[in-house]
Chains A and B, each alone.
Chain A
């Protein structure tokens, strides 16, 4: 259940930014979660709602954006979705494929009052 540690991370960020913008209430928390991040979203949401009780984010809605796993080939320039976690380039077979997106664990924005 590392989702609890992640929920704590979200909570710290939310409180920090809400405080800085003098918010009275956090309405929405938008999260970017990569396809390859090891997160079970339902657990994260459950942990967060437990943590948020009695805080400024108690009634906040969590919006999840799943970010697809996209790679870029440094050999031929191919860019696209990585299928079946096969990191060899589908165009040229090179092993020099970097992850462009899909590892995100980020708070994107807050909607506050």
Chain B
């Protein structure tokens, strides 16, 4: 006997993600899912972001990590609430993990939650966690071939951050080609060049986030 199904394999995750999204919406919090390979510089970018934004907006950080607290410990030195999620080897955060820790935050007091996902360009792209927006961080040391190799995350992200541009001249990274591939995958996507060493692009990145926070506060849809 044939039983028709046509159900999404990730439907239970997606349902939970929709609940998280509602919670963020209710509290007018802009939730950013920060995705990138290990070593892309997500935590450094986060530190710079906190430096610039923590005086201007009320923010909290959720740190996803395989086994350690190292990234959360780095963030804990700043004066923002940080929650650690250990995935115990899992390659991505899922909506259930995020739902579980949300009650630990004083949501009514926040404008921005940045969720640093587990270092990986594949799996986190597939699992929504209730965020408004995905941001992908690619360091130029990883190579300009990565957008076409990991197309899903570059398609899903509203902003692509090309990090570590201070060492561009020591690499064979082709900036024109990388920008071209990312734009073909995701026409009109915001592409930012940053360096956490020199501070280049950090203000642009923070302004980009602030614009999203403001449109969320004003009740606009900011999926893009």
Contact = CB atoms under 8 A, between A and B. Distances in A.
A86 B123 contact: no
Given A2-B126, A5-B94, A106 B6 contact: yes
B81 interface: no
Contact of B9 (A23, A87, A105): A105
Contacts of B123: 1-2, 38
Interface string B79-118: 0000000000011101000000000000000000000000
Chain A at the B interface: SS class: mixed
A107 B5 contact: yes
Contact of B127 (A2, A17, A18, A86): A2
Q: Which of A5, A12, A110 has the most CB of B within 10 A?
A: A5
A1 B122 CA distance: 9
A111 B2 CA distance: 5
Nearest to A9: B9
Given A23-B1, A88-B184, A105-B9, 9 more contacts: A9-B9, A17-B3, A85-B155, A85-B181, A86-B185, A87-B155, A108-B5, A108-B6, A109-B3
Interface in B165-185: 181, 184-185
Interface string B1-43: 1111111111111000000000000000000000000000000
Contacts of B1: 21, 23, 111-113
Contacts, number: 100
A87 B3 contact: no
Interface of A: 1-2, 5-6, 9-10, 12-13, 17-18, 21, 23, 31, 36-39, 84-88, 95, 97, 105-113
B7 A13 contact: yes
B151 interface: yes
B72 interface: no
Contacts of A1: 91, 123
Contacts of B194: none
B199 interface: no
A5 B10 CA distance: 8
Contacts of A111: 1-3
Contacts of B151: 36, 85
A95 B125 contact: no
B2 A17 contact: no
Given A5-B127, A110-B2, A87 B186 contact: yes
Contacts of B9: 6, 9-10, 13, 31, 105-107
B3 A85 contact: no
Nearest to B9: A9
A97 B187 CA distance: 9
A1 B185 CA distance: 24
A17 B4 CA distance: 9
B224 interface: no
A105 B8 contact: yes
Contacts of A5: 10, 13, 90, 92, 94, 127
Given A36-B155, A87-B185, A106 B7 contact: yes
B148 interface: yes
Given A6-B10, A85-B185, A95-B187, A17 B125 contact: no
